[in-house]
Amino acid sequence: MILTVDMGNTNISFGVFDGEELKLISRLATQRERTPDQYAIDFLNILSLHSISPEEIEGAALSSVVPELTNILSQAIKTLCNNVVIVAPGIKTGLNIAIENPSHLGADFVAGAVGTIANYPVPALVIDLGTATKIYAIDENNTFLGGMIAPGVEISLRALTNTSSQLPTIPLAAPPKVFSGDTVESMQSGTILGTACMIDGMLERFIEELGQPASIVATGGLSAFIINECKSDIIYDNLLVLKGLREIYLKNTK
């Protein structure tokens, strides 16, 4: 079995694959003060809950956008298995990177792009809605062309409520209509529907610059709240990055 771990600024998503079959998916909070042993205990406990022993894990792939925690999490994973592939410059991905500084490309972009190429027709546009809102493009030659990054839905909403005394904290849900006299519904409209409109508009511009139709795939923890409100034809795949990490592990160990 292969352990795949994607560490973001807010959460650590991880899964266990047995061949192409996903046996386990779970999530931990990203906490900068934790030690390798503390993370290792969490991994072991969750594996145990799903009747998976460390001896069944042949290796792992790790992507991280939190550099100060990458080594800590790698040490934790090595308590489960010795072979850990970390997404970093120099590893085999099968991805061509056509940006000015390829070494600056985030590991989550790389893993998501590899997962897209392995599972969907290219050219493709990938939407990743998490701590940040990201859209990036891959052409028909498996080349990463670049993308856009905007503040994430929760960051934007938190900034709004923290700096506006009379605006409440609201649940992430689509309102019944676009405009409303109710404060909560008005905020939901701006947050959910506004983000959906931004995504639709950016996708239109991406496709215009690509000059041809493209597959559109969405992933990330917040995609489920947003893409149903988009007018674009979008495939939702919450396992995209983990699938990409599995592919990267296989490319670097076989």
* Catalytic-role residue among 108, 139, 200, 233: 108
CA angle 104, 198, 14 (to 5 degrees): 50
Among residues 115, 117, 95, the alpha carbon closest in space to that of 105 is found at 95
Phi, psi of 30 (to 5 degrees): -80, 115
- Give the integer Cα–Cα distance in Å for 145 and 139: 7
Amino acid at 157: L
> In 37-180, at which residue ranges do the beta strands (DSSP E only) sit?
59-64, 84-86, 96-97, 124-129, 132-138, 143-151
Active site residue 139: no
2 pairs with which residues across the strands? 17, 59
What tokens were used for 225? 């709240």
Q: How many CB atoms lie within 10 A of CB 225?
A: 19
User: Which residues are within 8 A (CB) of 94 and not within 5 positions of it... i.e. 6 or more apart?
Assistant: 114, 117, 142, 247, 251
Enumerate the active-site residues: 108
